[in-house]
Amino acid sequence: MENQKNVTEFIFLGLWRNQKIEQLSFFLFLLCYLAVLMGNVTILLTITCSHLMEQPMYYFLCHLSLMDLCYTSSVVPRLIRDLAAARKSISYHECMTQLFAAHLLAGVEIFILVCMALDRYVAIVKPLHYTVIMNPKRCSILIGTAWGLGFWHSITLLLMVLSLPFCGPNQIDHYVCDVKPLLKLACKDVHVVSILLTANSGMVAIVIFLVLVASYIFILYHLRTKSSAGRRKALSTCSSHVTVVVLFFVPCIYIYALPAGDQNMDKEISVFYTVIAPMLNPLIYTLRNMEMKISMRKVWSQMLHCKLR
């Protein structure tokens, strides 16, 4: 622990190490963050203020939007600030806090995506038992389990990093405190820790992604027996979820399943799940969902009517 105290702060090298490009990117990421806030708050208000909250699919979507909102807010505001700053510093304790919060929220989001896949599987494969299987109590238990698994994932990574000595240098080749760039700064052999990281994050992401892909292949196989109208409705819902899963999991697998290396584009690829996916998720789930659009119009017209009274 004494070696750790030699480094009291870290310096981010940023996304591109080019001040002019970063100054231009400041406005782009600011607009993206505002879009994340507006889109996910809109979904949260629409679902919580309508009858949709009673349906498991929208109950999980509400929690997914909350995770997108919180996860992006744990990373992007500091990124935006650093894009306009000459010196991008973060204290050791703030770095560990950001590491824990980001992985906790991302872990919870991953398991919420699993819950959403389970919901679609039951709705399509076992429609007669859907209301019994996906009852409110079981949905709450699934969300609680997602939080528990996310906490376990995050605390494990945090304890691994806290055990590492940091004697210097203190420059993180990233825009956020993450495990792989921190491993490069450790003052001891990190081979074992790197293997544990791959097992904890990379292999878990691959396994969950393959399970989700397999579940949707099975759903597609089962849809052969449905009517054309039922098939279109199911495909519309499932395609939205598959798009979100691919946007989130593919970059995660690239970053955490591959070993650390100087040629990896980890920080550029991570923009997909820290900014782009949370920004696109509200559009993916609303533009192709007629029920969501109808509820959105009703909720916002009611709110406007209340303001005018």
For residue range 28-58, list pLDDT tens digits in order: 899 999 999 999 998 898 888 888 888 898 9
265-289 burial, b at 16+ Cβ within 10 Å, e below that, comes to ebbeebbbbbbebbbbbbebbbeeb
Q: What percent of the chain has pLDDT over 90?
A: 24
- pLDDT at residue 76, as a whole number: 92
Q: Which of 21-30, 152-161, 199-208, 299-308 has the lowest mean pLDDT?
A: 299-308
Name the pLDDT band for 146 (thresholds 50, 70, 90): very high
For residue 62, what pLDDT is reported? 92
| CB proximity list for 110: less than 8 A, separation 6 or greater | 150, 205, 208, 248, 249, 252
Which residue is listed with tokens 């896949």? 117
| Alpha-carbon span 162 to 166, nearest angstrom | 10
Where does the pLDDT of residue 3 fall: very low under 50, low under 70, confident under 90, or very high at 90 and above?
A: very low
- Asked whether residue 261 carries a pLDDT value surpassing 60, the answer given is no
To the nearest whole number, what is the mean pLDDT of the chain?
84
pLDDT number for residue 309: 59
156-183 pLDDT per residue, tens: 989 988 888 888 788 888 888 988 888 8
Q: How far is CA 262 from CA 11, 174, 181, in A?
A: 18, 12, 10
pLDDT, position 36: 92
Query: CA 162, CA 185: separation in Å to the nearest integer?
Result: 13
d(CA 6, CA 86): 24
Cα–Cα nearest to 81, from 25, 39, 41, 8? 25
Superfamily of domain 9-308: Rhodopsin 7-helix transmembrane proteins (1.20.1070.10)
CB-based burial of residue 5 (10 Å sphere; 0-12 exposed, 13-18 middle, 19+ buried)? exposed
Question: Per-residue pLDDT averaged across 99-122, rounded?
Answer: 91
7 has pLDDT over 80? no
pLDDT (average), residues 238-248: 82
Residue type, 89: S
Long-range contacts of 4-7, Cβ-Cβ distance < 8 Å, separation of 24 or more: 4/92, 4/162, 4/164, 4/165, 4/166, 6/166, 6/167, 6/168, 7/92, 7/166, 7/167, 7/168, 7/170, 7/185
Domain boundaries, the chain: 9-308
pTM to 2 decimal places? 0.87
